Structure 1
Amino acid sequence: MGRPGGDEGPERTPDGRYIVVRGRRWRATDPELPDEVADPLRSELGRARSAIGRTEDAEEVRAWRDRVQLAKEGLGERGDAWWEMGPADRAERARERLDRLRSTDVPGRSAP
């Protein structure tokens, strides 16, 4: 199971539900999510992970970790297993998590 551009990505279990990184299984992103939802969720996830490494304030780290959680839920990597949900419910969860991320203030920035 490859990725766009010919990159095969990480090893997957035969059922496609998990990726294997250094011998450890991690839940795979829902492969049926449309790019217009999955791409911004991945962007939010990367931004939050990066900020955690640069942030020293404990409250701010907690807020960034909450954003990681929302993004991973939206991608299907946490929360109810995507393969146990119907396609409409999976898409709704992803869109709802993305909407929450977009409507929540970014940690460390003052609201206008």
Structure 2
Amino acid sequence: MKHPVTPDGRYFAVRCRLWRMVNPDLDEAERSKLTKRLMVARRAVRDAKAARDPEAEAVAHRAVDVAKRALGERGPVWWKDGSPDLNRRIAKNTPYADWYAQVTRSRHGGS
């Protein structure tokens, strides 16, 4: 993966922000089906924006949300240890701060 993943596999980091990973308990066939559905919905968002069709865009955004929830990227967390959801949080402001600082240093040649 081109973006670093937290040691517990719950998030990946992009531009200092944590994003929730897909639920690893999904079987490959289901994950693939849902990922395809997500890509179709994202293309629908793009097309609706290009067509300047706000109603179609709203429908497409809802389809993206449904797919992301089914994948475990939004909605209730898929882990069971009671840890809070830190999705979309700035990594340095979370319990992953030390991990993120280390990853950032190693990616930029620091020690």
AA at the equivalent of 2:67:
A
Aligned with 1:79: secondary structure? coil
The question of 1:65 aligning with 2:61 is answered yes
Q: Deviations over 1:46-70 (max 9, x none)?
A: 1111221121211111111111011
Paired residue for 1:30, among 23, 47, 63? 23
Aligned with 1:71: secondary structure? helix
Aligned with 1:25: secondary structure? strand
| Structure 2: 5+ residue stretches without partners | 82-111
TM-score (norm 2): 0.65
TM-score (norm 1): 0.64
Paired residue for 2:35, among 18, 22, 42? 42
Q: Deviations over 1:49-106 (max 9, x none)?
A: 1221121211111111111011000100001001039xxxxxxxxxxxxxxxxxxxxx
Give the Cα separation in 1 of the matches to 2:40 and 2:70: 15
Give the Cα separation in 1 of the matches to 2:71 and 2:12: 14
Identity of aligned residues (%): 38
| Structure 1: 5+ residue stretches without partners | 1-7, 86-112
- Number of residue pairs the alignment of both structures matches: 78
Pick the structure with greater CA Rg: 2
Aligned with 2:79: secondary structure? helix
Higher RCO (Cα < 8 Å, 6 or more apart): 2
The runs of 4+ residues in structure 1 deviating greater than 6 Å are: none
Give the Cα separation in 2 of the matches to 1:37 and 1:21: 25
Structure 2 matches for 1:73-84, cutoff 5 A? 73-84=69-80
Aligned alpha-carbon RMSD (Å) = 1.5
Paired residue for 2:45, among 31, 48, 52? 52
